[in-house]
Structure 1
Amino acid sequence: MVKALRLRKNDKIGIISPSNPITEDLVPQFNKGIDFLKKLGFEVVVAKNALSITLGYSATPEEKAEDINAMFKDPSIKAIICSQGGATANICLSLLDWEAIKKNPKIFLGISDITVLLNAIYAETGLITFHGNDVMWGFGRELKPYDKQEFIDRFVNGKIGLINNSGERATIRGGTVEGKLLGGNLGCLLKLAGTTYFPNFEESILFLESYGFSPEGSYCNFVQLEQMGVFDKVKGIIVGYIYDEYADQRRVHMEDILEKATSKYHLPILKVNDFGHNCPNTVIPVGAKVKLNADEKTIEILEECITF
């Protein structure tokens, strides 16, 4: 397992756009997110291609990889935060310098489509990565005190132990297990299916969230995970906030479908609202060992995620 150094005041944070680019109309919100980081006492360095739309809808695979590789190789950069998610984070994977990433461990933070990179980086290098707010839709919005404190606790203070609760939690299936955290956005995680970048889910706890929801789509995704043998390997599942504009009109929700899809596996399942789209976000260490107690509705980080 590889761990990054904690953040200190005046450290440099690099900003990259490995998925969707920052288009002209998004620049004001992007700058607001950068200002948030500066107010915390950090210097911000925007990557060379962060605003590139060479393909018309995105930077090229080469441009994305150039930024990621450069940020990891630059000794002055102590953390890398993604500007936003989107749809194209997987196009640069074959161009990444995995050896350089492993030799220069840094905090790597993102959400949504960045799930692809969080899990691929961990699978290829063993570096603990982090699922949490991005620059645009996290730090660029009106953050809750919860979000700010979780960022400081995890990256500056190196806090482990119980993950703070930002809202209602529900036991879907009881039980207590320990394992390494893997996952993120459900659809984006499955972009890695069939590739060498898909992580080994042996002895793991799967965490999932989704932007948008359809019963049919979710069921198909869960069947795919089963067919891939994931449910034979994982020890428990955490379901985060599921952004669904039609939630009030539905008879079933994602956790209901997951419960039925995994009924023969007897896996503990906990529903929380502590991570996802359009909600408060804790910082989840991808690859770190945690304890899930679905009966007590707690998630406890058991090992240090960064070094001092």
Structure 2
Amino acid sequence: MEQESELVTGEAVVLDVRAAKLASRGLAMIVDVTIQLIALFVAMLVLSQVAAFGDEALALTLFLVTLVLIMVGYPVIFETLSRGRTLGKMALGLRVVRTDGGPVRFRHALVRGLAGFFIDFWALGLLGAVAVITSLLSPNGRRVGDYLAGTLVIRERMPAARTPYVGMPPQLAYWASQLDLTRLPNELALAVRQYLSRTSELRPEAVEALGHGLAQQVAATIGAPVPPGVPAWAYLSAVLAERRQRDQAKLQPPVQYGQPPYSPQAPHYPQAVAPAPVTQPVAQPIAQPAAPPEPVPENPFAPPG
């Protein structure tokens, strides 16, 4: 069986994951142990050739070194290079992560590998009995090596995480647009988000008590008290929805507008609307009577005789 779990990353991002329990981890362990036994069998065939030449001490030393490298080095190397996956975990869709959701590093893999060899499985683990008992007693299926390293094995092959929708109350839309939310920390916003996503799962008195406490913290942080007559959940929804809307607006690219078809700087545009070209030809015939009188031919377009 498997159990849903929530991890919170250092960036205050909630990861809805499913912790791998005994069944899936056991199958992955069987795959890894099979690979390790095959590697040990090949190593023994090679080392037997060394013992055939009479150097049994050297063969025994090499065998012990090879045993440690295969049983401890195999999970450590794979989990370090593949960020938490051995061949068995790859086949079952599992991954080792830190308890804060981050990827494991060499020190985490080394602690898990050493604890697995000496405590969970082989040396003192009674062929995995210690790991089985610890995993059954742990709410997230963790063994001793996970507790020592601060890790957790999760399932990767899952549907996309559901993100609860936090809507803006229409009555508070304009009020929320005037708020200064730059001082609202991510940790408090995350707590509000988790509270709003679980209001349907809590009793009414718990919803009221938790909402009032979170509303007071938010109000003290952003400097905007809860408006009179507004419930705590509506106040928190408005603050969180406005914060999300502003964050999404920052990610939108600026809108590029095209050049208008007629630019005011174009030389022909002011001439087309200016009255001077229209009135100028009319003014010339009016000014002609003031000129000295001249004989006008009968046809004004005919050359003078």
TM-score, length-scaled by structure 2: 0.19
TM-score, length-scaled by structure 1: 0.19
Higher relative contact order (CA 8 A, sep 6+): 1
Larger radius of gyration: 2
